[in-house]
A = this chain, B = another copy of it.
């Protein structure tokens, strides 16, 4: 067919070159994409024919995969990759082994929402990912009323359910005699037990798995012994502090064939002892970068192909888990000279080459794994335990300008979303570990009183008519962010259900919040999408449309709530909002 050019004048404002064929006019998709915010690309189908796939939305909804439980997965967080996000500077190597946010302050800070989501995402991945079963090795150190047990004692029980087993954790701080805070299901009521399980390949445990360490450049040395404090088998090393003058090296090449990029080890440094991991990056050209974990308070430094993460000044045994994919990726992102080359760092392009020890120290239980989700989960949970303040909150140390000059928060503000996400995480940690400290933290310092974490200073506001709202950003006037409010409700739900406390504050707060949600939810419905908040109502600016990924978050949240509460507004709104994603608008009058 023959098509002619015809100019298309858009609202008397702009002109676009179109095509004409008989009575039909054809409009270029490049224009439609920006004018209507729709997405499309040519795709080749299985039968070879090419089609243009038009998507109204770039995002998708995740239906609940089963009944919701406060001890199970949290929404679709198994798909979250919090630490890979651009607004995460890196995972700190210092005492807080959590993401460092740069979202609202480029120098970096700890952001409780991000930390809780980081922990929740790893909890969900732990529950949903196929366990890398062929590589599971149970590595167990157990302290039982002062006695040390080896793998053999407990492994018969552990293999039954491997990674989904209900009662293992790693010891967070080996120096404080294993912090034995865990009541196991098996041994509940009788004994305290702390132990550590990895899904990785054990490359050194000072006992059954012995690494082929090589002393390079002369004066280095390794010995194996039983550590009297931890009652664990350990490897002691001595080498120059500067790797260029010699080191103790273990090749990892043999165990990296399957892209195992997460290294865990228990490490005790004397003085400036450090370790480093050499990583091969295979692209058009093969490069090697070395990631050093050193005694320093500096978060991250990069010098050419040498990357340095500071482990802080802390002394004593520490369990350290590093995902080299993340560590290389974050270093590359923060370094102009590396950014371009390492832009497309992916799991399949990286390979661990070796582990190098420098200076003097000890280590044990060295593993290489594809993931160590529970380590990250407890890192986040323990950060929340340590950083909860007197009123049960986690304040945010940086200012937040929602609308410059109109809606601003000074440093030290609280977020109901942070409180809620922390509750969801802590309830799961309480469930998984059996440690009552997590549940106490979730419930706040004065359980059942109005100063529980979810009502820390100023996060509670009211819509005209008295509907209560828990604010993600407690600005004045209020903002009424929808997704943050629902996260706070989910935290309250998790707490009330798990603690099963009918008279508790969490139940009352959840129920009044749900009432508000059902009352105000329609105000977020635009007839073709949803609103992120109600800033237009409180400050008279333009409505703040939710972009598609927040729209799908809304839907995913509503579908979850609909599974807990039969009020039809939850499911009918979710259904309608799903329709909007296919361009089906609400009817006009």
Contacts and interface: CB of A to CB of B under 8 A. Distances in A.
Query: How would you classify the secondary structure of chain A's contact residues: helix, strand, loop or mixed?
Result: mixed
Contact of A27 (B12, B27, B37, B569): B27
Interface in A1-19: 1, 3, 5-13, 15, 18-19
A35 B36 CA distance: 11
Contacts of A10: 54, 583
A245 to B, nearest CB: 54
A362 to B, nearest CB: 50
Given A528-B526, A528-B528, A544-B589, A25 B42 contact: yes
Contacts of A525: 536, 542-543
A516 to B, nearest CB: 11
Given A464-B463, A587-B544, A25 B11 contact: no
Nearest to A518: B540
A50 B5 CA distance: 10
Given A9-B51, A531-B527, A572-B540, A3 B24 contact: no
B19 A30 contact: no
Contacts of A129: none
- Interface size class for chain A? 35 or more
A9 B41 CA distance: 10
Contacts of A28: 24-27
Interface stretch (A86-94, A146-154, A545-553): A545-553
Contacts of A50: 6
Contacts of A465: 463-466
B546 A588 contact: yes
Given A32-B32, A536-B525, A589 B9 contact: no
Contact of A18 (B18, B36, B52): B52
The oligomer's copy count stands at: 2
A506 B24 CA distance: 55
A588 B547 contact: yes
A361 to B, nearest CB: 48
A587 B547 CA distance: 9
A66 interface: no
Contacts of A29: 18, 24-27
Given A8-B40, A51-B9, A542 B3 contact: no
A540 B527 contact: no
21 contacts: A6-B51, A7-B51, A7-B52, A10-B54, A13-B582, A24-B28, A24-B29, A26-B29, A27-B29, A27-B54, A35-B583, A37-B588, A464-B519, A522-B537, A522-B540, A525-B536, A526-B528, A527-B531, A528-B545, A540-B569, A542-B587
A51 to B, nearest CB: 5
Interface of A: 1, 3, 5-13, 15, 18-21, 24-30, 32, 35-37, 40, 42, 49-56, 463-467, 519, 522-523, 525-529, 531-532, 534, 536-537, 540, 542-547, 550, 568-569, 572, 576, 581-583, 585-589
A519 B542 CA distance: 14
Q: Which 6 A-B pairs have the closest CB atoms?
A: A464-B465, A26-B26, A526-B526, A545-B588, A542-B586, A527-B543
A18 B11 contact: no
Contacts of A6: 42, 50-52
Nearest to A532: B589
Given A27-B54, A532-B589, 15 more contacts: A3-B26, A7-B51, A11-B55, A15-B51, A18-B52, A32-B32, A523-B523, A526-B527, A527-B531, A540-B569, A542-B586, A543-B586, A545-B588, A546-B588, A550-B589
Nearest to A19: B26
A26 B30 CA distance: 9
